[in-house]
């Protein structure tokens, strides 16, 4: 009687190493909660936590994480500045802003500094894990609310570019001088018109660009990329 052939032993495949996550958060309780959450998710490991931007710049290059989760509001050095400095030290490092704030200006400042994504702290655990995997595959994960704000901002800029084409030559001249920091009196002297006329033109500019301040008018005008006439 022949002996039954033994089934071959199953080949053991080595387990994939978990993704290494660094967390930069100044609030102790929040830092602890997020660290525990990260470690509870499949294939993720929080390998270091930092409470300041200065500490992050010192520690993160040493531990070489795959992704950094960065709070914006840190003592002394802001999270946005920390992102910028880390990107200089580690250009390929993926950094996701993780904050409670959905302020549009902060979103763009963070992205311009080099952030690869922007999530709100109320993000669900499953969505957080998906975002961490996404950013490593070249994605730019954002909480849907943030993504919607980004889209709306681009639409607003597109409308502004169209509206700026309807500025008169005099209005563009005034905006150009305004962008150089000149007061209404100096603008009036340069253009050889009265201060009241300058104010009258600015009122129309504010209406056309849908702004309420000189600073907003200059920012919108510069973003429109129209070429102002020489003064």
- Kindly report the backbone phi and psi dihedral angles of residue 29, in degrees, each rounded to the nearest multiple of 5, phi listed first: -65, -45
- The DSSP letter of residue 222 is H
49 closest CA partner among 179, 81, 212, 39 = 39
Fold adopted by 19-150 = Rossmann fold (3.40.50)
- Nearest CA-CA partner of 93 in 113, 72, 73, 120: 113
Q: What would the pLDDT profile of 86-126 be if each residue is shown by its tens digit?
A: 999 999 999 999 988 777 778 888 888 899 999 999 889 99
pLDDT for the residue numbered 230: 43
Alpha helices by DSSP H, listed for 22-124, are 28-40, 53-63, 79-89, 104-113
Map out the domains of the chain as residue ranges: 19-150, 165-224
228 pLDDT band, cuts 50/70/90, is very low
Instruction: Please state which architecture CATH assigns to domain 165-224.
Output: Orthogonal Bundle (1.10)
Q: Are 176 and 205 in contact (CB under 8 A)?
A: no
Confidence of residue 176 (pLDDT cuts 50, 70, 90): confident
Please report, rounded to a whole number, the percentage of residues in the chain having pLDDT higher than 70. 82
């Amino acid at each position: 009687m022949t002996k039954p052939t033994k089934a071959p032993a199953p080949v053991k495949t080595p387990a994939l190493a978990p993704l290494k996550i660094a967390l930069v958060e100044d609030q102790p309780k929040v830092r602890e909660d997020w660290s525990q959450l990260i470690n509870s998710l499949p294939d993720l490991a929080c390998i270091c936590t930092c409470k300041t931007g200065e500490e992050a710049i010192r520690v993160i290059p040493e531990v070489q994480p795959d992704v950094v989760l960065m709070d914006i509001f840190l003592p002394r050095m802001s999270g946005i500045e920390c992102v910028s400095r880390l990107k200089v030290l580690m250009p390929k490092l993926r950094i996701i802003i993780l904050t409670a704030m959905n302020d549009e200006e902060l979103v763009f400042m963070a992205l311009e500094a080099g952030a690869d994504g922007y999530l709100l702290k109320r993000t669900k655990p499953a969505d957080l894990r998906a975002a961490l995997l996404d950013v490593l595959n070249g994605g730019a994960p954002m909480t849907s609310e943030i993504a919607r704000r980004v889209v709306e901002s681009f639409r607003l800029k597109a409308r502004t570019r169209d509206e700026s084409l309807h500025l008169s030559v005099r209005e563009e001249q005034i905006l150009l001088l305004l962008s150089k920091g000149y007061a209404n009196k100096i603008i009036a002297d340069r253009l050889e018109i009265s201060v009241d006329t300058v104010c009258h033109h600015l009122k129309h500019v504010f209406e056309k660009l849908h702004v309420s301040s000189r600073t907003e008018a200059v920012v919108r005008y510069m973003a429109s990329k129209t070429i102002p006439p020489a003064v």
